[in-house]
Chains A and B, each alone.
Chain A
């Protein structure tokens, strides 16, 4: 079993839709949770960074962490064609720098 599971998609939604992206994990020691966006042939770009459980909002993006369920989510409101990319979840332990990545979900927002 992988430590971080993420549905690879692809996921296609119409413009303006709410997008829900999710990851599950098996190791309860993970405390830091991140979402990265990666456009084709580019490096990952940090979107959201959260510590432990809770919600964090930044513009159209909301990150949720449910440690009891070992489940994290990224919501994108009013999705735009420019949101079309691969979204990677990542997480790490306290005191460690290595990130554990999901496989990435490829999202397409259709105009």
Chain B
């Protein structure tokens, strides 16, 4: 149990285009999901907290108009990187809270490369 998927696993896009990443909880419902960014050989950096049916809460320094988050159902949250630039190239990972202990389970990550 507690499986989280992400799609796509890898995406290459041109500068200026928008990219949507999906995060799904496959065998449980998740009121809360999180989006992280990870640079090579570094730990995870929390970008935002996604709550089903309400606006996401963004961490300081994360542009909400650039990183659009939609949590429209209890099993799906999406992150859209708008007008992507090469500096947005990174590994994006989502997680979902599961169970009474609210443990975070992570997706496999999405590698974004902006050319």
Shortest B106–chain A CB gap in Å is 4
A71 sits at the interface (CB 8 A): no
Residues of chain A within 8 A (CB-CB) of B2 are 46
Interface on B for A, CB 8 Å cutoff? Answer: 2, 4, 6, 32, 34, 41-44, 46, 49, 91, 93, 95, 97, 101-109, 111
Most buried by B among A34, A43, A49, A101: A43
Residues of chain A within 8 A (CB-CB) of B6 are 43
B contact patch SS = strand
Shortest B24–chain A CB gap in Å is 13
Residues of chain B within 8 A (CB-CB) of A32 are 101
**Closest residue to A96 on the B side, CB-wise?**
B102
Residues of chain B within 8 A (CB-CB) of A28 are none
Residues of chain A within 8 A (CB-CB) of B107 are 43
A101 to B104, CA, bound (A): 12
User: Which of A51, A97, A103, A104 is the one whose CB lies under 8 Å from B49?
Assistant: A97
Residues of A within 8 Å of B, CB-based: how many? 21
Provide 26 A-B residue pairs closer than 8 Å at the C-beta atoms, listed in order of the A residue.
A34-B103, A34-B104, A36-B106, A41-B109, A41-B111, A43-B95, A43-B107, A43-B108, A44-B44, A44-B93, A44-B106, A46-B2, A46-B103, A46-B106, A49-B103, A51-B101, A88-B44, A97-B97, A97-B102, A97-B104, A98-B46, A98-B49, A99-B104, A101-B44, A103-B42, A103-B43
